[in-house]
Amino acid sequence: MELRSNVPSGPIEKRWEKHRFDLKLVNPANRRKSTVIVVGTGLAGGAASATLGELGYNVHAFYYQDSPRRAHSIAAQGGINASKNYQNDGDSIYRLFYDTVKGGDFRARESNVYRLAEVSGNIIDQCTAQGVPFAREYSGLLDNRSFGGAQVSRTFYARGQTGQQLLLGAYQALERQVDAGTVHTHGRHEMLDLIVIDGVARGIVTRDLVSGEIRPWLADCVVLASGGYGNVFYLSTNAKGCNVTATWRAHRLGAAFANPCYTQIHPTCIPVAGDYQSKLTLMSESLRNDGRVWVPRDPADATKDPRTIAEGNRDYYLETRYPAFGNLVPRDIASRAAKKVCDEGRGVGPAVDGERRGVYLDFADSIKRLGKSKIEERYGNLFEMYERIAGENPYETPMRIYPASHYTMGGLWVDYNLMTTIPGLFAAGEANFSDHGANRLGASALMQGLADGYFVLPSTLAGYLANFKGPKIADDHAEVRAAVGRVNERLKRLVSAPKPSRTPDSFHKELGRLVWDECGMGRNAEGLRKALARIPELREEFWNGVRVTGSGAELNQTLEKAGRVADFLELGELMCLDALHREESAGGHFREEHQTEDGEAKRDDENFTYVAAWEHTGDLSKPKLNKEPLTFEYVKPAQRSYK
Amino acid sequence: MSKKLNLTLHVWRQKGPTAAGDFVKYPASGIDDHMSFLEMLDVVNEGLIEKGEDPIAFDHDCREGICGSCGVMINGMAHGPRKATTACQLHMRVFHDGDEIWIEPWRAAAFPIIKDLIVDRGSLDRIVQSGGYVSVRTGAARDANNIAIPKDDADLAMDAAQCIGCGACVAACPNASASLFTSAKIGHLALLPQGGPEREDRVRRMVLQHDAELFGSCTQHGECEAACPKQISINFIARMNADFIKTAVTANADLKQREGQ
């Protein structure tokens, strides 16, 4: 496999402009003759579908939810970055670029990141024009806040529901195109396979989740905007339906999967309350602006009422270890520190499986300093949410938080055009690996999703389609029939395991726990080898013993789950293989063997400054590693320091 | 710490859109009161699958009260007894040991039942298709700070824009009206200058689509506001009605012609 990044040459600030000029265009009259399939209607997929529809392409958008408005982008709370410099605090495209490359721990492609920063301002203009009700100042102009440890205020937000408002903007633009007849939506449809003909992506196979009908859809190119794979951990902040199936099926047919071990664990989530727990809820990171994180010094105090623990017996571990950034250190660092104190037995809250996994986030000092009403104004909705879930009042007793899987930086390998290693197959948003390196900064996921969907894909797809000369394909083409056959065969196996005994969720929970323990916040060779030995066994147990009630010819949520778990059981192994091979620590990937004396991540730039793009070989345990070397012409790698 | 509850569920089971449905009784025992309502249903479903029975089908996704997927009638109340709370955010501590809980799908002609507790809410998407947007092409926008918008207007627009499209307002309304949903989108865009040029066209088209979908009319019961998990105010219905009535006089000839008047 050859990895050609297709990055344009020349000064970085001119590359995107030059590239857009070099890309061919599709004549307006010809666009409706080109059919584009888009899988997923989150920020990337929704924005791409709407924009491609406006341009006149014939777009088919697929999503597993009942409405395109429900994609998981909707749950993003904090905000979206853009280098507008409306605050005159020294922000610029270059600074956003610089911060993102550094924040990604020097494992992202510079040209892609620069382009992201370059279009960030257009995103805010576009969304505002759509009627997205961003927060405003009394002047009537847009408000900004500082987010995720950034030293400038470049985050635009809509209360605590920024993702919702941006997604509704894209959704409305998409529905406008449905009305115009350019976009055709297919809700409650799940992509279960890709159709590749003569090495080129030409369509997908879907299951209608209501009727169970399996059918192929053919097109001139396919865009996967199907999100990340954080649900491999079972417990995560992702929606319950989020899954890796679309990208994983593409991987099995030749799309390289890049950096699967780069996963982001968000530090401020509500801890697990019991073994019935179905998902974890994120509390906006903005809470760390006024809350102080601590645990008892003495493990014996873990069960005491926190208000009775004397100041001297509390360990404000972030403030002590990172005096410069304190409670505002980046996500990966805050998460690992929480794990460390809980590993020491100093965690708080109810014991689940014999362990207390939680740390306090205490607002008592801020309430004393600013008054309860100020805190209520800033965080009222979050406090209410916490009270609803945890059943405790955070104005009176400290919140309990613990890290949870939140975002995955890895994904399908793409070139500068967002095209995967299968020609005609594109990946956008969280589904690709492109812009965040080994760690994503807060408020950058929304930016990347919309950049890909509104601004990058519409140009690069045109460049592809203008040169595309594939033959017309009919539904009875051998490859189409083969893809449909694969799907049918797999579904049949899922509903007729030889010894059905366990539910899909019970397998998912076991896999999740294993991957969380061995390939979560801290990883080491011994643990990864243990997981690598166990996952193939678990996979075999699954195919032998999964219990799916009903049939494939009806609405069957158990079958949907089983199919998704089957793919997580394959991806989980690749994550561990990637984590084991990367003998360094970088961003969200922390190898315990590779840390500095004071416990910080230690990169090995000499040997690991590359993208690991894994190629499926037919043997899940032996994928082939391809490397795309990364070069840093503008931002020179240095150790990230937040002390 | 946590308490255990033993409950009796009466769940609406219906195989498909045209099949007859009925309540089926299920025991739910040993339910931890820290569970969410949907986690309680998960536990019941795991038990059903283990027995080889068809689990209860229900829509859900984010489970943090923002995607709008979930929604069932719980003891006759949309999303259950807790104010401003979706079913996924409702926790079992609001119930007591020994309670009987009746669980039904949203009931409205415009929301046909697909299976068990799942309904088809495509009618809400079609209302948005009929004008719930600003017609601005990607790339056609000017600088975001070119238009200043009074903070109060922007805040009020945001109050309306928070709608999650769950359909609770319809389920709670004795007329099965989607007026709160429709007016929230109309109100959001009408309060912003960006929504100005299409304001008349939008309100007419969306209201007519709302009626064509067989949603009922608003007769101001106020049940929608009480059930709304985002506490959207029925004042937006008044704003929508005012705009709609105004367009009966002012709407331009082209618009009326398109509507076939």
Q: Can you name the residues that pair with A81 across neighbouring β-strands?
A: A155
DSSP string, A463-514: HHHHH--PPP--TTSHHHHHHHHHHHHHHHHHHT-SS--B-HHHHHHHHHHH
B223 touches chain A (CB under 8 A): no
For residues A210 and B119, give the distance between their C-alpha atoms in angstroms, rounded to a whole number: 11
Interface test with A, best of B64, B92, B95 (most A CBs within 10 A): B64
For residues A130 and B157, give the distance between their C-alpha atoms in angstroms, rounded to a whole number: 13
A310-319: long-range contacts (C-beta < 8 A, 24 or more apart)?
A315/A341, A315/A346, A316/A292, A317/A293, A317/A341, A318/A293, A319/A292, A319/A293
Buried b (16+ CB within 10 A) or exposed e, A380-416: eebbebbebbbeeebeebbbbbbbbbbbbbbbbbbbb
Mean pLDDT value across residues B37-52: 97
- Considering only residues A591 and B249, tell me which one the structure prediction assigns the higher pLDDT: A591
The answer to whether the Cβ–Cβ distance between A125 and B34 falls below 8 Å is no
The pLDDT value recorded for residue B258 is 65
Give CA separation, B146 vs A84, A250, B142, in Å.
Answer: 13, 44, 7
- Which chain A residue shows the shortest CA-CA distance from B230? A381
List, in sequence order, every beta strand (DSSP E) within A398-475.
Answer: 399-408, 411-412, 425-427
Give CA separation, B131 vs A175, A474, B209, in Å.
Answer: 9, 36, 10
Residues 6+ apart with CB under 8 A from A603: A105, A106, A584, A585, A586, A637, A639
Chain B environment of A69 (Cβ under 8 Å): 68, 125, 165
Q: Can you name the residues that pair with B129 across neighbouring β-strands?
A: none
The pLDDT-based confidence of B250 (bands split at 50, 70, 90) is confident
The answer to whether the Cβ–Cβ distance between A128 and B141 falls below 8 Å is yes
Q: Can you name the residues that pair with A546 across neighbouring β-strands?
A: A502
Mean pLDDT value across residues B138-166: 97
B177 touches chain A (CB under 8 A): no
B142 touches chain A (CB under 8 A): yes
Structure tokens at A404: 């949870």
For residues A443 and A116, the answer to whether their CB atoms sit within 8 Å is: no
The pLDDT value recorded for residue A598 is 79
For residues A374 and B87, give the distance between their C-alpha atoms in angstroms, rounded to a whole number: 30
pLDDT higher than 70, residue B252: no
The answer to whether the Cβ–Cβ distance between A240 and B151 falls below 8 Å is no
β-strands A221-224, A425-427 pairing: parallel
The pLDDT value recorded for residue A378 is 83
Residue ranges of chain B that CATH labels 1.10.1060.10: 121-258
Give CA separation, A78 vs A166, A222, A283, A386, A475, in Å.
Answer: 12, 31, 10, 16, 45
Phi-psi region of B156 (alpha: psi -120 to 50; beta: other; left: phi over 0): alpha
Give per-residue pLDDT as tens, B232-242. Answer: 999 999 999 99
Residues 6+ apart with CB under 8 A from A519: A261, A263, A527, A528, A531, A572, A575, A576, A579
| Three-state DSSP class for residue A317 | helix
Which A-chain residues 125-154 have CB contacts (< 8 A) with chain B? Answer: 125-131, 133-142
ipTM of the complex: 0.97
> How close does chain B come to A476, measured CA to CA in Å?
31
B256-261: long-range contacts (C-beta < 8 A, 24 or more apart)?
B259/B204, B259/B208
Mean pLDDT value across residues B76-91: 97
> How close does chain A come to B249, measured CA to CA in Å?
26
For residues A71 and B125, give the distance between their C-alpha atoms in angstroms, rounded to a whole number: 14
For residues A269 and A399, give the distance between their C-alpha atoms in angstroms, rounded to a whole number: 10
Interface test with B, best of A118, A279, A397, A502 (most B CBs within 10 A): A279
A555 touches chain B (CB under 8 A): yes
The pLDDT value recorded for residue A490 is 98
For residues A70 and B166, give the distance between their C-alpha atoms in angstroms, rounded to a whole number: 10
Angle at A127 between CA A153 and CA A429, to 5 degrees: 85
The pLDDT-based confidence of B257 (bands split at 50, 70, 90) is low
Structure tokens at A439: 């760690």
Reference A228, options A609, A571, A627, A586; nearest CA is A571
Q: What is the largest CA-CA distance in chain B?
A: 67
> How close does chain B come to A525, measured CA to CA in Å?
34
Cα-based torsion angle of the residue sequence B103, B109, B112, B118 in order, rounded to the nearest 10 degrees: -30
CATH 1.20.1530.20 fits B121-258, yes or no: no
A2-7: long-range contacts (C-beta < 8 A, 24 or more apart)?
A3/A256, A3/A413, A3/A421, A3/A611, A3/A613, A3/A626, A3/A627, A3/A628, A4/A415, A5/A109, A5/A111, A5/A415, A5/A416, A5/A628, A6/A415, A6/A416, A6/A417, A7/A109, A7/A111, A7/A112, A7/A415, A7/A416
The pLDDT value recorded for residue A353 is 86
The pLDDT-based confidence of B172 (bands split at 50, 70, 90) is very high
Which B-chain residues 20-59 have CB contacts (< 8 A) with chain A? Answer: 32, 34-36, 38-39, 42-43, 46, 48-50, 52-55, 57, 59
**DSSP assignment, residue B121?**
-
For residues B150 and B147, give the distance between their C-alpha atoms in angstroms, rounded to a whole number: 10
For residues A255 and A417, the answer to whether their CB atoms sit within 8 Å is: no
The answer to whether the Cβ–Cβ distance between B164 and A133 falls below 8 Å is no
For residues B183 and B238, give the distance between their C-alpha atoms in angstroms, rounded to a whole number: 8
Which among A31, A331, A357, A400 is annotated as catalytic?
Answer: A331
Reference A537, options A564, A572, A561; nearest CA is A572
Structure tokens at B139: 């790339």
The pLDDT value recorded for residue B255 is 65
| Domain covering B4-114 in this structure, CATH number | 3.10.20.30
Mean pLDDT value across residues A391-410: 96
Chain B environment of A279 (Cβ under 8 Å): 63-64
Which amino acid, residue A512? G
Which amino acid, residue A537? E
Residues 6+ apart with CB under 8 A from A56: A28, A31, A32, A182
Sign of CA dihedral B230, B83, A385, B65: negative
**DSSP assignment, residue A288?**
G
Phi-psi region of A84 (alpha: psi -120 to 50; beta: other; left: phi over 0): alpha
Backbone angles phi, psi at A255, to 5 degrees: -85, 125
β-strands A610-615, A257-258 pairing: antiparallel
| Three-state DSSP class for residue A307 | helix
The rounded mean pLDDT for chain A is 96
Residues 6+ apart with CB under 8 A from A29: none
The answer to whether the Cβ–Cβ distance between A179 and B2 falls below 8 Å is no
Mean pLDDT value across residues A215-233: 98
* Domains within chain A, CATH numbers bracketed: 20-264+407-467 (3.50.50.60), 269-405 (3.90.700.10), 478-601 (1.20.58.100)
Tell me which residue in A54, A187, A279 faces B138 most closely, judged by beta carbons.
A54
Which amino acid, residue A105? D
A253 alpha carbon, distance to own chain's centre: 22
Residue ranges of chain B that CATH labels 3.10.20.30: 4-114
B212 touches chain A (CB under 8 A): no
Structure tokens at A437: 């390196």
The rounded mean pLDDT for chain B is 95
The answer to whether the Cβ–Cβ distance between B154 and A239 falls below 8 Å is no
- Look at A74-83, A378-387, A458-467, B214-223 and tell me which has the smallest mean pLDDT: A378-387
Backbone angles phi, psi at A117, to 5 degrees: -65, -35
For residues B88 and A108, give the distance between their C-alpha atoms in angstroms, rounded to a whole number: 37
The answer to whether the Cβ–Cβ distance between B49 and A350 falls below 8 Å is no
Give per-residue pLDDT as tens, A521-554. Answer: 999 999 999 999 999 999 999 999 999 999 999 9
**Number of C-beta neighbours around residue A248 at 10 A:** 23
- Look at A130-139, A140-149, A287-296, B101-110 and tell me which has the smallest mean pLDDT: A140-149
Give CA separation, A254 vs A45, A422, A568, A624, in Å.
Answer: 22, 6, 18, 11
A124 touches chain B (CB under 8 A): yes
Structure tokens at A452: 């890909």
Q: What is the largest CA-CA distance in chain A?
A: 75
pLDDT higher than 60, residue B261: no
Give per-residue pLDDT as tens, A163-196. Answer: 999 999 999 999 999 999 999 999 999 999 999 9
For residues A144 and A14, the answer to whether their CB atoms sit within 8 Å is: no
pLDDT higher than 70, residue A436: yes
Structure tokens at A635: 């931002």
DSSP string, B160-195: HHT-----HHHHH-TT---HHHHHHHHHHHHTSGGG
- Look at A269-283, A320-334, A614-628 and tell me which has the smallest mean pLDDT: A320-334
pLDDT higher than 80, residue B88: yes
> How close does chain B come to A151, measured CA to CA in Å?
22
Would you call A207 a catalytic residue per the annotation? no
Interface test with B, best of A54, A119, A128, A159 (most B CBs within 10 A): A128
For residues A626 and A419, give the distance between their C-alpha atoms in angstroms, rounded to a whole number: 16
Reference A263, options A361, A141, A373, A403; nearest CA is A403
Mean pLDDT value across residues A496-524: 97
For residues A601 and A590, the answer to whether their CB atoms sit within 8 Å is: yes
Reference A263, options A581, A588, A517, A513; nearest CA is A588
